[in-house]
């Protein structure tokens, strides 16, 4: 499945549910908060799978202050560390279809970390700028 098809599928799913294209939490009712992100909605939909990547997690997208100098860093931070024991693996989100798509692209690298054993986990995706530009171009062509 190409990036364009993925984006269009996510937006089509949103329209079928009577929602504007965007990204919502696992319950489908609360907008996920995006702080300081320079990415368009379609790009974030790809990174999170339009919610698929965080389906079982109460999570939101933030721009990690430590990575503000890196415009290619996207951070998915869970609000519930208890459900994230599997994140000990190097590629924390390999279980999710959206992350599988990204993992197959050599321009994406993921790391998982947390400040302490009781702190939430953070998944940081380092996405090559060229890939972001490709996604941005694809999003511009997609009917929203």
- What confidence tens digit (pLDDT) does each residue in 108-124 have? 555 555 566 665 555 55
Confidence of residue 90 (pLDDT cuts 50, 70, 90): very low
Of 143 and 138, the structure prediction assigns the larger pLDDT to 138
Q: What is the pLDDT of residues 58-69, one digit of tens each?
A: 233 333 333 334
Q: Looking at residue 57, what is its pLDDT? A: 28
Domain tally for the chain? 1
Q: Which of 120, 130, 135, 141 is nearest to 57 (CA)?
A: 120
Domain that holds residue 18: 3-141
Assign 138 to helix, strand or coil: helix
Whether the model clears a pTM of 0.75, i.e. scores above it, the answer is no
Q: Which of 56-60, 65-69, 92-96, 105-109 has the lowest mean pLDDT?
A: 56-60
In 21-102, beta strands by DSSP E = 59-62, 73-78
Rg of the Cα trace of the chain? 14
Q: Would you say 99 and 93 are in contact if contact means Cβ atoms under 8 Å apart? A: yes
Tokens 């100098």, located at residue: 69
């Amino acid at each position: 499945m190409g990036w364009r098809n993925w984006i269009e599928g996510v937006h089509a799913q949103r329209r079928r549910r009577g929602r504007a294209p965007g990204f919502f939490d696992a319950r489908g009712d609360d907008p996920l908060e995006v702080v300081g992100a320079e990415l368009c909605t379609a790009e974030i939909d790809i990174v999170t799978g339009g919610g698929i990547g965080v389906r079982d997690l109460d999570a939101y997208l933030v721009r990690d202050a430590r990575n503000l100098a890196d415009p290619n860093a996207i951070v998915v931070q869970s609000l519930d560390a208890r459900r994230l024991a599997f994140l000990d693996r190097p590629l924390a989100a390999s279980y999710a279809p959206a992350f599988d798509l990204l993992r197959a692209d050599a321009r994406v690298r993921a790391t998982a970390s947390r400040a302490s054993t009781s702190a939430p986990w953070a998944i940081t995706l380092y996405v090559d700028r060229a890939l972001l530009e490709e996604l941005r171009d694809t999003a511009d062509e997609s009917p929203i």
